[in-house]
C-alpha cells in the first residue's frame, strides 16, 4: 500500500483530541444535491405527462404540429404558463421554442399575451439564435395551419435588435405585408427599439419618419424609445427637442421620460440640469421611482469627483426628504464602490438617528467597505447599533470583520462576532466552516481552527479535502509540522488522496522547520501519488536551498524544473539572485538576470531591489543608480528602503540635482523617505 513515509508514517500522532465521526455515521466528502433535470425521460406510467425531451423530439419533426395536438388531446400534455416558460428556457435549438410558442398561442391566445412567456421566448431567441425568417420556416408555419401574429413579430424583431442585426430588422419590417400583417404603431415601436439597441440611430430615425406614410402615429412609447436612443448617444439637445415635440402632440412626459433625460444629462456631465429636472417633475406631479433615483445618484457619481458627488447629493436629499428612503441604499452603494469609508460611516451614523434601516445587501456591502477603510472600533460600534435595531449581518460581513480584528490582535472582539455568527445559524455548511477555519489559520490561531474542525465533525458535517488542506497549510506556516501530520493521517483515514496543495503545504512546513531532507522525501513521494509538482512546489524548495546557502543544489533543481516542462518564474530567479548577492557573487547574479530576461521573465521590485542593495554595499554606486532608473522606466516602483539607499548614494557622489529629482518623484507617489543631510 502506498504510504507517505516521510510524513504521516514517521509519526505516531495521538488522535484523542480530534473528534472522530460517530459510529454508523460515516463522514464522506459532501455530496451535491441532485436536482431533477426536466429534460430527462421520466419513468413510464401509463398516461403520465410527457417530458421536455419528448416534446423536443416532436418539434424536430415535420409533423410536429399534429403530434403536439395528439398529445394534448390524449391529456399527456398539460399546458400552464409555468410549464410553457420552463420549456422555452430549456431548449438548445432556438427553432423549438419558436414552434412551441406558435402552437401554444394557437391553443390559447392568452399565452401569446403573457409577458413572462414572451420574455422567455425573447431570451431563448437571443441566447440561442438568431432565428431568421427563411422561406422554409414561413412555409413550415403556414403548412401547419398557423400564422404569424403581431406579438410574435415583435418578439422576433426584438431578438434581432439585441443580436445587432439592424439591417435585417429593417428589411423584414419592409416585407411584413407578405406575412399578412399590416404596419402598426406597436410594430414601428418594436423595430425602432431594436434598431437603437443595435446602435443604428440613423435607421431608427428613418423608420420614425416613415410612420406617417403607413398611417401610424407616434405615441409616448415611440418618443421614449427615441429619447433613450439619443441620450445613449450623448445628444441631449436632440432629446430635449423630442420631448417638446412629444408635448406638442399631447403626450406629457412620464416618469420614464424624465428618468431617461436625467441619465442623459448626467452622461453629458450637466449635473445641474439633472437636479433641475427633479424640480420640474415635482411641479408636474410626476413622482420619481427607484429607477429615477438610481439614475440620478449613479449619474452624479459618473460626472463629478466622488467627494463632490457626495456633497451635492447630501445637500439635495436634505431638500427632498421624500426621496431619502429611495436614495439612501443607492448612495451607500456608490460610496462603498468608491471606497469612501469615512463618508459612508458619516452617512450611516446620520441615518441611524433618523430610524433608517438599509436593506441587507446594502448594509453588508457598506460594512465591508468600513472594515477595509475605516477605524475598526467605530465600525464595530456602527455594526452593533444596527444589530440592536434588528438588522442581521451576513456571513461574509462577520467573516471580514473577524479577519480584520484578528489581524490587529483584537481576538476577544473577533471571538465575540464569531459567537454571534454561530448563534445566528450562519455557520451551517462545509463551505462556511472551511472559510472560518481558513480565517483562523491565517491569523495563526490554530487552536481555534482545530476547535472549529471538531465542532464541525460533531455536528455531522463532513470535512472535505479543502478542509484538511487548509488545516495542514495553517499549521505548516507557523512551524507546527507535527500537528500538520496528524491532519494528514486524518485526511488519509477519511479516504482522500493528497493533492498538489497538500504536498506544497507540507513541503513548505518542513522547509520552515529546517527539515530539508524530509521536504525532499515528500517531494519524491508526490510521484508515488501521481501528483505532479508545479512551479509553487519547486520555488519553495529552491528558496529554502538558497536560504541555507546550497545554491548549486538550487540551480540543479531549476534545471530539473525546466526539464519537466515548468518554466522558472520571477520567484525562482529571485531566490537565486538574492543568494548570489548575499555571497557577493554579483556577476553570477547578473548572468541570471540576463537569462531571466532572455526567457521573457520580467524582474519585479524585489529583483531590482536586491541588485541595488548589492551594488551599494559593494560601493558600485553608478550601477546602483543605473539599475534604479531602469526599475522606474519599467514601471516597477521601488520601496522606501531602496529609494533611501539610492538617495544616500547620490548624495555621497555629489549628484544632488539627480537626488532632488528622485525625491520629487517619490513624493508624487507618496513614498516615505528618510531625512538625508544635504538634500
pTM of the model: 0.70
Q: Which segments of 175-287 does DSSP mark as H helices, in order?
A: 185-197, 201-210, 220-232, 236-248, 255-267, 271-283
Tell me, yes or no, whether 587 lies in a domain.
no
Q: What is the pLDDT of residue 28?
A: 32
C-alpha cell at 441: 489559520
Tell me, yes or no, whether 619 lies in a domain.
yes
Tell me, yes or no, whether 404 lies in a domain.
no
Question: Do 230 and 267 meet the contact criterion of CB atoms below 8 Å apart?
Answer: no
C-alpha cell at 297: 445618484
CA distance linking residue 382 with residue 440, whole number of Å: 24
Question: Do 242 and 210 meet the contact criterion of CB atoms below 8 Å apart?
Answer: no
Total of domains in the chain: 1
Q: How far is CA 538 from CA 207, 542, 569, in A?
A: 66, 6, 10
C-alpha cell at 534: 508545479
Which residue in this structure is represented by grid cell 416618469? 255
Q: 264, 263, 266, 262: which is closest to 281 by C-alpha? A: 262
CA distance linking residue 71 with residue 55, whole number of Å: 9
Which of the 8 DSSP states describes residue 93?
A: S
Q: What is the pLDDT of residue 111?
A: 84
Question: Do 151 and 118 meet the contact criterion of CB atoms below 8 Å apart?
Answer: yes
Question: Do 370 and 341 meet the contact criterion of CB atoms below 8 Å apart?
Answer: yes
Q: Which segments of 60-165 does DSSP mark as H helices, in order?
A: 64-73, 81-89, 95-107, 109-113, 115-128, 135-143, 150-162
Range(s) of the domain holding residue 645: 606-678
Can you state the angle between helices 430-442 and 446-458, rounded to 10 degrees? 170
Q: Is 541 helix (H, G, I), strand (E, B) or coil?
A: helix
Q: 650, 572, 667: which is closest to 616 by C-alpha? A: 650
Which residues in the chain land under pLDDT 70? 1-50, 321-325, 676-679
Tell me, yes or no, whether 611 lies in a domain.
yes
Amino acid at each position: 500500500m502506498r504510504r507517505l513515509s516521510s510524513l504521516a508514517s514517521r509519526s505516531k500522532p495521538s488522535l484523542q483530541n480530534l473528534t472522530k465521526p460517530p459510529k454508523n455515521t460515516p463522514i464522506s466528502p459532501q455530496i451535491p444535491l441532485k436536482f431533477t433535470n426536466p429534460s430527462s425521460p421520466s419513468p413510464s406510467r401509463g398516461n403520465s405527462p410527457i417530458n421536455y425531451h419528448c416534446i423536443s423530439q416532436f418539434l424536430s419533426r415535420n409533423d410536429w404540429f399534429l403530434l403536439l395536438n395528439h398529445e394534448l388531446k390524449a391529456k399527456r400534455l398539460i399546458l400552464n404558463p409555468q410549464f410553457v416558460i420552463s420549456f422555452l428556457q430549456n431548449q438548445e435549438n432556438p427553432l423549438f421554442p419558436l414552434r412551441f410558442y406558435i402552437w401554444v398561442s394557437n391553443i390559447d391566445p392568452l399565452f401569446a399575451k403573457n409577458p413572462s412567456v414572451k420574455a422567455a421566448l425573447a431570451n431563448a431567441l437571443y441566447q440561442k439564435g438568431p432565428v431568421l425568417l427563411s422561406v422554409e420556416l414561413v412555409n413550415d408555419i403556414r403548412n401547419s395551419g398557423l400564422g404569424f401574429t403581431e406579438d410574435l413579430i415583435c418578439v422576433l424583431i426584438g431578438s434581432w435588435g439585441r443580436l445587432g442585426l439592424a439591417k435585417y430588422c429593417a428589411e423584414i419590417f419592409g416585407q411584413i405585408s407578405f406575412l399578412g400583417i399590416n404596419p402598426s404603431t406597436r410594430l414601428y415601436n418594436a423595430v425602432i427599439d431594436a434598431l437603437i439597441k443595435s446602435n443604428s440611430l440613423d435607421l431608427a430615425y428613418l423608420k420614425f419618419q416613415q410612420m406617417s406614410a403607413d398611417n401610424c402615429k407616434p405615441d409616448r412609447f415611440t418618443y421614449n424609445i427615441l429619447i433613450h436612443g439619443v441620450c445613449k448617444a450623448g445628444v441631449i439637445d436632440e432629446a430635449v427637442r423630442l420631448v417638446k415635440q412629444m408635448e406638442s402632440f399631447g403626450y406629457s412626459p412620464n416618469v420614464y421620460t424624465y428618468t431617461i433625460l436625467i441619465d442623459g444629462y448626467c452622461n453629458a456631465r450637466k449635473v445641474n440640469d439633472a437636479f433641475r429636472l427633479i424640480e420640474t417633475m415635482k411641479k408636474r406631479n410626476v413622482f420619481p421611482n427607484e429607477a429615477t433615483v438610481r439614475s440620478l445618484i449613479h449619474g452624479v457619481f459618473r460626472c463629478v469627483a466622488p467627494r463632490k458627488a457626495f456633497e451635492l447629493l447630501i445637500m439635495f436629499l436634505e431638500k427632498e426628504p421624500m426621496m431619502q428612503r429611495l436614495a439612501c441604499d443607492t448612495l451607500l452603494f456608490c460610496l462603498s464602490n468608491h471606497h469612501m469609508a469615512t463618508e459612508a460611516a458619516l452617512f450611516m451614523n446620520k441615518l441611524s438617528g433618523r430610524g433608517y434601516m438599509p436593506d441587507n445587501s446594502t448594509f453588508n456591502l457598506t460594512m465591508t467597505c468600513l472594515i477595509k477603510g475605516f477605524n475598526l472600533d467605530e465600525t464595530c460600534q456602527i455594526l452593533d447599533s444596527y444589530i440592536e435595531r434588528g438588522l442581521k449581518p451576513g456571513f461574509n460581513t462577520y467573516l471580514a470583520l473577524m479577519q480584520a480584528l484578528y489581524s490587529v490582535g483584537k481576538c476577544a472582539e473577533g471571538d465575540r462576532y464569531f459567537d454571534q455568527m454561530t448563534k445566528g445559524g450562519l455557520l451551517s455548511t462545509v463551505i462556511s466552516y472551511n472559510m472560518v477555519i481558513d480565517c483562523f489559520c491565517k491569523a495563526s490561531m490554530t487552536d481555534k481552527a482545530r476547535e472549529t474542525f471538531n465542532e464541525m465533525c460533531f455536528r455531522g458535517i463532513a470535512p472535505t479535502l479543502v478542509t484538511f488542506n487548509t488545516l495542514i497549510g495553517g499549521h505548516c506556516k507557523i512551524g507546527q509540522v507535527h500537528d500538520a501530520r496528524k491532519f494528514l493521517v486524518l485526511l488519509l483515514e477519511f479516504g482522500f488522496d493528497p493533492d498538489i496543495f497538500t504536498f506544497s503545504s507540507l513541503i513548505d512546513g518542513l522547509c520552515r522547520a529546517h527539515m530539508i531532507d524530509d521536504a525532499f522525501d515528500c517531494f519524491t513521494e508526490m510521484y508515488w501519488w501521481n501528483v505532479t509538482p508545479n512551479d509553487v512546489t519547486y520555488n519553495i524548495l529552491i528558496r529554502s536551498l538558497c536560504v541555507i546557502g546550497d545554491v548549486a543544489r538550487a540551480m540543479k533543481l531549476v534545471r530539473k524544473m525546466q526539464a519537466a516542462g515548468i518554466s522558472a518564474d520571477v520567484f525562482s530567479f529571485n531566490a537565486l539572485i538574492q543568494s548570489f548577492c548575499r555571497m557577493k557573487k554579483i556577476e553570477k547574479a547578473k548572468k541570471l538576470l540576463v537569462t531571466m530576461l532572455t526567457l521573457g521573465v520580467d524582474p519585479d521590485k524585489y529583483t531590482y531591489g536586491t541588485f541595488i542593495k548589492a551594488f551599494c554595499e559593494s560601493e558600485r554606486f553608478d550601477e546602483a543608480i543605473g539599475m534604479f532608473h531602469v526599475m522606474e522606466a519599467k514601471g516597477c516602483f521601488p520601496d522606501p528602503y531602496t529609494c533611501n539607499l539610492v538617495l544616500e548614494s547620490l548624495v555621497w557622489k555629489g549628484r544632488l540635482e539627480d537626488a532632488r529629482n528622485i525625491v520629487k518623484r517619490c513624493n508624487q507617489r507618496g513614498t516615505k523617505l528618510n531625512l538625508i543631510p544635504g538634500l
